[in-house]
Structure 1
């Protein structure tokens, strides 16, 4: 039987009432307009599938610029000009260089109030590229007492996170890292810092540090795709794919689905609906019982 190639919009309706981000085959982050499907790619240019995500809000109002007035705080890290190439190809990546003090070299998102609901779990994520022989650590930490409520140390080259976090390798030596945990009261903030051989306190050399970009703080226990902000919180709407019944639908049938674990594909009376969180690679409708 001959196969007929058709585009996605000939077979199904895709909706997302807002923009959304994805990575191109060249490994560059790009923001797509509303209702545009996001076919996502790995750092090696491998097709990952159609990216489906629930609604999410980036609570950080200054996601790609480092300004004290916008809520950022740095201790023994010196912000340089935002002129290095970021994962989206713009010259907006910020270089943070440690000073020569014997201390912790760290930064935090420290507005008057980072979140409003202290009962939820939150995920903090950002893009990073290390400068010099340093390692990376992130935490949810009390600004005044120094008590950690969650902490992660990252082995970027190995793709490992020691603690409740994730590492995703990207093109150009960049990584996207995350940490998940509680923010139980107003003084607990998302921190990130450079460390030396596992030590948080050390004498800086004045040249090592990191390049950072694309910060995100969101409710939930999994990092979703990056949502750029510039002065206010931004919400990305949920993705949904729906294929209405057609000649393919029989009196009885079942689905074979290839997708990430968080994707939900349901055979409804009126058609096939897909949503959730992850990459959808294929859906096959087969007549008869499973």
Structure 2
């Protein structure tokens, strides 16, 4: 199979963000989707070589962010349309379809899949058997020129390292 799926308990009207860290290998297109309990076409195709996104109409948003060394954080956001067990899926695409005969060796690297009740992706938070409530990010020094009160925003840089030694699950 060219996909991995997981279920979770969705609540109608709640906005969820699904994030996956990915790196191209023999394949370069990752598709991530809310497959059930969400509006039709709640998916996006991410080209890990060009950073192009082709998103379905059921999404609130989608994004791809370079994390360095060929790794990308791919995220989709959608709002649940019913309260029930929902399914999230990520697929491989061979350049033209998710339905194809595989060769047993071609894939992509993935790491750190994260689902959260949020309208934006947050930094990766490790979890195991149960949900985790993430603490808020805090600025730990006095702000200077990086704060512009007329724009109401703060510039913050953060380094993220992802090990290239993760194996392909496909």
**TM-score after normalising by structure 1:** 0.45
CA distance in 2, matches of 1:162, 1:178: 12
2:131 counterpart residue number: 233
Higher CA-based Rg: 1
| Residue 160 of structure 1: aligned partner | 52
Partner of 1:120: 14
Greater relative contact order, per chain length (Cα 8 Å cut-off, separation 6+): 2
Cα distance between partner residues in 2 of 1:221 and 1:215: 16
Structure 2 gap ranges (5+): 56-60, 158-170
How far 1:203 sits from its partner (Å)?
1.2
The CA deviation at 1:152 is: 0.3
Match of 2:86 among 185, 188, 206: 188
Structure 1 residue runs without a partner (length 5+)? 1-75, 77-104, 245-254, 266-277, 282-290
Alpha-carbon distance, 1:107 to partner:
1.0
SS of the equivalent of 2:69 reads: helix
Tell me the distance in 2 between the aligned counterparts of 1:133 and 1:242.
Answer: 41
Q: Shift of residue 207 of structure 1?
A: 0.8
Compare the two structures and name the one with the higher strand fraction: 1
TM-score by length of 2: 0.72
Q: Deviations over 1:197-223 (max 9, x none)?
A: 231211111111122111111112211
| CA displacement 1:200-256 (0-9 Å, x = unmatched) | 211111111122111111112211111111222112212344889xxxxxxxxxx98
**CA–CA separation in structure 2 for the residues paired with 1:158 and 1:258:** 33
After TM superposition, the structure 1 = structure 2 runs for residues 1-290 of structure 1, keeping only pairs within 5 Å, are 76=1, 105-110=2-7, 114-142=8-36, 148-163=40-55, 164-185=61-82, 186-241=84-139, 257-258=147-148, 264=152, 279-280=155-156
Separation of aligned partners in 1, 2:25 and 2:155: 32
| C-alpha contact (below 8 Å) 2:17/2:78 kept by paired residues | yes
Q: Give the deviation of 1:120 after TM superposition.
A: 0.9
| Matched residue count | 147
- Structure having the larger proportion of residues in helix: 1
Output the CA distance in 2 between the equivalents of 1:234 and 1:256: 31
